Amino acid sequence: MDDLKAKYLGQIAEAADEAAIEAIRVAAVGKKGEIALMMRELGKMTPEERQTAGPALNALKDEINSALAAKKAALADAALDERLRSEWLDVTLPTRPRRQGTLHPISQASEELTAIFAEMGFAVAEGPRIETDWYNFDALNIPGHHPARAEMDTFYMARAEGDNRPPHVLRTHTSPVQIRSMELQGAPIRVICPGGVYRADYDQTHTPMFHQVEGLAIDKGISMANLKWTLEEFVKAFFEVDDVELRFRASHFPFTEPSAEVDIRCSWEGGQLKIGEGDDWLEILGSGMVHPKVIAAGGIDPDVYQGFAFGIGIDRLAMLKYGIPDLRAFFDSDLRWLRHYGFAALDMPNLHGGLSR
Ligand code: PHE
C-alpha cells in the first residue's frame, strides 16, 4: 500500500494538465482501478486481516482523491493566472495621444447646452427629422395658406402619384417636438429638444441643414419673466461670462404670443467673429409665450396651463463661442478644420469642471 501511495501521489505531483489528472484518477480510484481491484481481494481475507486492510484501503482512496482535487484546483488557478498575465488591458490608460478623432463643435455645443439646461431641470426630448406637415405647421398654428410656410423654404418629400397620405416635410424647425412632448407627457413639462432642421437657404450664416435646440416649459403661472430669466442664465452659462449683451426684440411667430427674438452683440472685424464687442448683432433665437391654440393642439387645457418656448440656433452659438466666421465650414468635413476646431472626445462638458476647458 505504501508503494501504491508513493506511486500515485508522485504521478499526481507530476501531472501537467487536466487530462493527465483524469487518467490517474481512472487508473487509481476508478471503478476498475487498482484500488478497486484490491478492495475485491478483501473477501478472500480472514476477518482479522480485513479489519486492518479495509480501513487502510479506504484511507488510501480518500488520500488519492483529495490529492487529485487539490492538483486540479492548482492547475485551474495556474491557467487563470496565465490568462490574466497574457490578456491584461489597462483601462485607465488614455486613448491615443495624437488626437485622431475630435468632437465636432456642434456636438460640443450640444453637449454643453444640454448640461446647462439639465441643471435648470430640463430633460431632453426628441422627434423625427421627417415630419408630417401637421406637426411641423398646422399644430403650431400655421395653417395651409399661411405665408410662414413659404418663408421657411420648406423641403417637401416627393410623393408617388395617387399617394393621398398627408405630405411629409424635412422639419423646418424643432418646434414640432413641442407638440410631440405635450402629447407624450401632458403637463407640467420642461424639455429641450436639440436636433437637425432643414431649409433651402445658403450663405455665410445659413446652410440647408442646421441645428436648433427647442425649449418648452409648460406649467401653471409661467410668465414672460421666467422666459427672459431662463434665456439670460443660459447665455451667461454657455458663453462663460457674467454679462453678455442681449437684445430682446418684439417679433412674431404664429405659435407664440407675445414673441421675442434675441440678438447678441458681436463684431465681424478682420474676418473674425467676436462676441460681446462691436456694433453688430447676431440673431440667435426666437421665443415667446406658447399660443393657446398650440397648447390645445398638444392635448393640454390652455385655460389651466401656460408656458414659454424658444428655439436657439446651435450652429450660431458655436460660431460665436469658438470664433468661427463661416457656417458653411461646419459641413465641409475638412480634416484640417476638424482638427483645429474639434474637441477632445473624452472631455464631457459639465458645469462643475467648466464647460470647455
Ligand atoms: N421655430 C422658430 C424658428 O425656427 C423659433 C421659435 C421656437 C420661436 C419657439 C418661438 C418659440 O424660427
C-alpha of residue 198 to centroid of ligand 1, in Å: 13
Residue 187, all three cell numbers: 403637463
- For position 98, what pLDDT does the model report? 63
φ, ψ at 16 (rounded to 5°): -105, -20
- For position 197, what pLDDT does the model report? 97
Tell me the C-alpha distance between 198 and 195, whole Å. Answer: 10
Q: Please check the confidence at residue 344 and state whether its pLDDT lies above 80.
A: no
> Mutate which of 135, 255, 261 to test ligand 1's pocket (most atoms within 8 Å of Cβ)?
255
Task: Kindly give the number of the ligand 1 atom that is closest to the alpha carbon of 172.
Answer: 4
C-alpha of residue 310 to centroid of ligand 1, in Å: 6
Q: Give the pLDDT confidence of 148-172 residue by residue, as tens digits.
A: 777 678 999 988 888 888 889 999 9
- For position 164, what pLDDT does the model report? 84
C-alpha of residue 309 to centroid of ligand 1, in Å: 8
Q: Are 189 and 181 in contact (CB under 8 A)?
A: yes
DSSP-derived secondary structure for 199-223: -S--BTTB-SEEEEEEEEEEETT--
Ligand 1: does its nearest atom lie under 6 Å from the Cβ of 310? yes
What is the dihedral angle through the alpha carbons of 160, 164, 170, 174, rounded to the nearest 10 degrees?
-170
Indicate the average pLDDT of the chain.
90
Q: Confidence band (pLDDT; 50, 70, 90) for 209?
A: very high
Tell me the C-alpha distance between 62 and 56, whole Å. Answer: 10
Q: Are 4 and 29 in contact (CB under 8 A)?
A: no
Q: Confidence band (pLDDT; 50, 70, 90) for 184?
A: very high
Percent of the chain having pLDDT more than 90?
Answer: 62
The annotated binding site is made up of 257
Task: Kindly give the number of the ligand 1 atom that is closest to the alpha carbon of 310.
Answer: 9
Ligand 1: does its nearest atom lie under 6 Å from the Cβ of 253? yes
The annotated binding site for Mg(2+) is made up of 257
Q: Whose CA is nearest to atom 4 of ligand 1?
A: 173
- For position 222, what pLDDT does the model report? 96
Percent of the chain having pLDDT more than 70?
Answer: 96
Task: Kindly give the number of the ligand 1 atom that is closest to the alpha carbon of 286.
Answer: 8
Q: Please check the confidence at residue 99 and state whether its pLDDT lies above 70.
A: no
